[in-house]
Amino acid sequence: MTVSKPTRGWRRMALALGIAAPVAAFAPPALAEVSAESQYIFNTFSFLIHGVLVMFMAAGFAMLESGLVRKKNTAAICLKNIALYSLAGLMFYLIGYTIMYPGDGGWIVNGIFGNLDLFYDPSAAETALIAAGDKATPEQLKAVVDSGYSVPSDWFFQMVFVATAASIVSGTVAERIKIWPFLIFVVVLTAIIYPIQASWVWGGGWLDAMGFSDFAGSTLVHSTGGWAALAGAILLGSRKGKYTADGKVTPMPGANLPLATLGTFILWFGWFGFNGGSQLALGSAADAAAMSIVYVNTNVAAAAGVVIAMLVTQMRYGKIDLTMALNGAIGGLVAITAGPDVDAHWKAIVVGGIGGGLVVFAVPMFDKFRIDDVVGALSAHLVAGIWGTLAVGIFGGGSFFTQLIGAVAIGIFVFVASFIVWYILKATVGIRADEESEMNGLDIAEVGMEAYPEFGQAS
């Protein structure tokens, strides 16, 4: 392959016109043109790099939520975000992963519940191969390579998805929840609730057997986070003064919109890992091509979400609204997440555009029901997640009815289980900060420091 000062034009045109030789002498291809060990490396590296992109979404949520809460609750939301990401990883290590992936030897009850082999660790085959070093035998290598990818790379990739689900919750219940009870909920969500429902699909459980399809988690991650948040928001109640007795909604605008914008861009950036990595393999041309299609669909869906959200707000309210545009991007991303492998990009644009548009209608709807969602996460993750899941039954290869069953079943399970946990927490340690703490802000009350101590208040 020519590398000495190629121009983009030259190489592309030469290939297209048949002037240049193809990139390599191409013997009659076998379907194993890529060696098994190379496949293993490609697949593993895809998990790692895409997993790192998803990990960075934790920063995206932290910034989005920091920007959308009020000044006095900013340090608290920062703390919740780094704490929840940490706890999610530890809980998924301790118990979540083995519940989610029971394998064939685990304690598995009709595909409903996984196993309880605590303390996930790398596979014995991998540690043996690594320990053997130069003296590794072909059998040791084969034992590793046969699995198709490194087990810890998969753990890492799945772990960041659990963390994402937990991140969704923190935004909705912000500005009034006590930190420790919130974190206890995160522990239960990431150790038990998320893994159980995820095992039904990605762990090979009953929904997977039915043909329910959720490529990267519109339902399993985003709606799950949304249902857990909804249960919390209902039991927690709205912020003081948010809804007046005469039915008005008091705007409580976010304190730092550039940070919210940054957070949205980080989420968008990380979503290429979320959806692209969910191809789960990179070891063949077919996988690489499919992954590329996923990337493009992810991008155009988000773009359409922004544009439709902007147009709808302009038409409905006579102004563009920055936070709606940001949530439009997220709505578009969430919507395409169930089926980013759709075969024509215009379909992704339709799915994402509707996802973004739904956000604009869902935000006032939740306000109407007096469900106080500080950052709009219910609209962007729960509503758009349901839509995206159903959309696979319209535009993708799935059955609409099966998609509906999956969305409903997981919704009921997660909502009920979360409601019970929130309820117990409310009845025991309490979940809501006292009125004085809420007035003065959680930063002083719970974190003991202000986020912006030197910046004066607007008069």
Q: Interhelix angle for 151-172 vs 179-188, to 10°?
A: 140
Tell me which stretch binds a copy of itself (CB under 8 A): 149-157, 234-242, 403-411, 430-438.
149-157
Binding window for a copy of itself (CB under 8 A); candidates: 14-22, 221-229, 370-378, 404-412: 14-22
Of 232-240, 242-250, 313-321, 365-373: span binding a copy of itself (CB under 8 A): 313-321
Q: How far is the CB of 74 from a copy of itself (least distance, A)?
A: 6
**Token pair belonging to 65:** 């939520």
Long-range contacts of 25-34 (CB under 8 A, 24+ apart): 33/285, 34/283, 34/284
Q: Which is nearer to a copy of itself, 195 or 230 (CB)?
A: 195
Is residue 116 a contact residue for a copy of itself (CB under 8 A)? no
Least distance in angstroms from the C-beta of 73 to a copy of itself: 11
SS3 50: helix
- Closest approach, Cβ 230 to a copy of itself, in A, equals 25
Binding segment toward a copy of itself, per CB under 8 A, in 118-126, 238-246, 364-372, 414-422: 118-126
Phi, psi of 448 (to 5 degrees): 70, 20
Residue 441 touches a copy of itself, criterion: CB under 8 A: no
Q: Which of residues 181-200 bind a copy of itself (CB under 8 A)?
A: none
Among residues 52 and 404, whose Cβ is nearest to a copy of itself?
52
Least CB distance to a copy of itself at residue 72 (A): 8
Any contact of residue 9 with a copy of itself (CB under 8 A)?
yes
As measured in angstroms, the least distance from the Cβ of 267 to a copy of itself is: 10
Question: Torsion-angle region of residue 253: left (phi > 0), alpha (psi -120 to 50) or beta?
Answer: beta
**331 touches a copy of itself (CB under 8 A):** no
If one asks whether residue 401 binds a copy of itself (CB under 8 A), the answer comes out as no
Cα distances (Å, whole numbers) of residue 200 to 107, 109, 124, 420: 14, 11, 26, 21
Give CA–CA dist 216/101, Å, rounded: 16
316 touching a copy of itself, by CB under 8 A: no
Looking only at residues 34 through 63 of this chain, which bind a copy of itself when binding is defined by CB under 8 A? 34-49, 51-53, 55-56, 58-59, 62-63
Beta-carbon contacts of 433 under 8 Å, excluding residues fewer than 6 positions away, are 176, 177, 178, 442, 445, 446
Say whether residue 107 binds a copy of itself (CB under 8 A): no
- In sign, the C-alpha dihedral spanning 421, 425, 426, 431 is negative
Regarding 28 and contact with a copy of itself (CB under 8 A), the answer is yes
CA distance 237 to 374: 12
Structure-token match 């990380």, residue found:
270
Q: How far is the CB of 200 from a copy of itself (least distance, A)?
A: 8
131's tokens = 């320990």
Stretch 193-232 residues interacting with a copy of itself (CB under 8 A): 201-205, 208, 213-214
Give the Cα separation of 6 and 76 in Å (integer).
53
Closer to a copy of itself by CB, 183 or 230: give it: 183
* Rounded CA separation 149/137 (Å): 19
- Contact pattern from residue 242 through residue 281 relative to a copy of itself, giving x for each residue in contact according to CB under 8 A and a dash for the rest: -----------xxxxxxx-xx-xxx-xx--xx--x-xxxx
- Cβ atoms of 229 and 413 within 8 Å: the answer is no
Select from 107, 112, 116, 121 the one that contacts a copy of itself (CB under 8 A): 121
Q: What is the DSSP string of 95-134?
A: IIHHHH--TTTS--STTSS-----S----HHHHHHHHHGG
- Rule CB under 8 A: is residue 442 a binding residue for a copy of itself? no
* Residue 394 sits in the site that holds a copy of itself (CB under 8 A): no
Residue 193: count other Cβ atoms within 10 Å of its Cβ.
Answer: 24
Rounded Cα–Cα distance for residues 161 and 152 (Å): 14
Which of residues 231 and 441 has its CB atom nearest to a copy of itself in the complex? 441
Considering the rule CB under 8 A, would residue 78 count as an interface residue with a copy of itself? yes
Residue 457 burial (10 A CB sphere; 0-12, 13-18, 19+): exposed
Binding mask 286-305 for a copy of itself (x = CB under 8 A): xxxxxxxx-xx--xx-xxx-
Closest contact distance (angstroms) between CB of 246 and a copy of itself is 23
Given the structure tokens 């956000």, which residue do they identify?
359
Beta strands in 279-346 (DSSP E): none
Instruction: Say if residues 166 and 232 touch (Cβ distance below 8 Å).
Output: no
Of 112, 146, 364, 435, the residue at the interface with a copy of itself (CB under 8 A) is: 146
The angle subtended at Cα 260 by Cα 163 and Cα 170, nearest 5°, is: 35
Q: How far is the CB of 332 from a copy of itself (least distance, A)?
A: 9
Q: How far is the CB of 88 from a copy of itself (least distance, A)?
A: 8
In angstroms, give the least distance from the CB of 263 to a copy of itself: 9
334 binds a copy of itself (CB under 8 A): no
